[in-house]
Amino acid sequence: MAIEVRIPTILRTYTDGARAVEGSGGTLRALLDDLETRHPGIHSRIVDDAGLRRFVNVYLNDEDVRFLDGIETVVADGDVVTVLPAVAGG
């Protein structure tokens, strides 16, 4: 078992076009570090020094992790993590 991570179109350049990849880790932070080992560059598109980027939404199953514990949210095998860029503008 692993954690499925759904990748938005704009980040599929880091996953050879794959719409979903698998990873492991006990928290979202560890999971993103694990993804970076196989998909170099993807980490900094989701995370900056302050935590999750403002323009990127990350969901654990059906919940926005901002309403959980952000990048420290606990994840487990069988979970689905979805990454979606915000749709916004001025």
Partner 1 sequence: MLRIRQDLVDAIVSHARADHPDEACGVIAGPAGADLPDRFIPMLNAARSPTFYEFDSMDLLRLYRAMDDNDEVPVVIYHSHTATEAYPSRTDVSYASEPDAHYVVVSTRETGAGDGPFELRSYRIVDGVISEEEITII
Residue nearer to partner 1 on the CB measure, 55 or 72: 55
Residue 86 contacts partner 1 per CB under 8 A = yes
> Which residues make Cβ contacts (< 8 Å) with residue 42, sequence separation at least 6?
11, 14, 15, 32, 35, 36
Residue 85 contacts partner 1 per CB under 8 A = yes
- Report in angstroms the alpha-carbon separations of 66 from 1, 17, 38: 25, 27, 25
H or E element in which residue 6 lies: strand 3-6
Residue nearer to partner 1 on the CB measure, 35 or 83: 83
DSSP state for residue 71 in the 8-state scheme: G
Residue 41 contacts partner 1 per CB under 8 A = no
> Do 78 and 1 form a contact (C-beta atoms < 8 A)?
yes
Question: Which of 4, 66, 70, 79 touches partner 1 (CB under 8 A)?
Answer: 66
Residue nearer to partner 1 on the CB measure, 19 or 38: 19
Q: Which residues bind partner 1 (CB under 8 A)?
A: 8-10, 55, 57, 59, 62, 64, 66, 82, 84-90
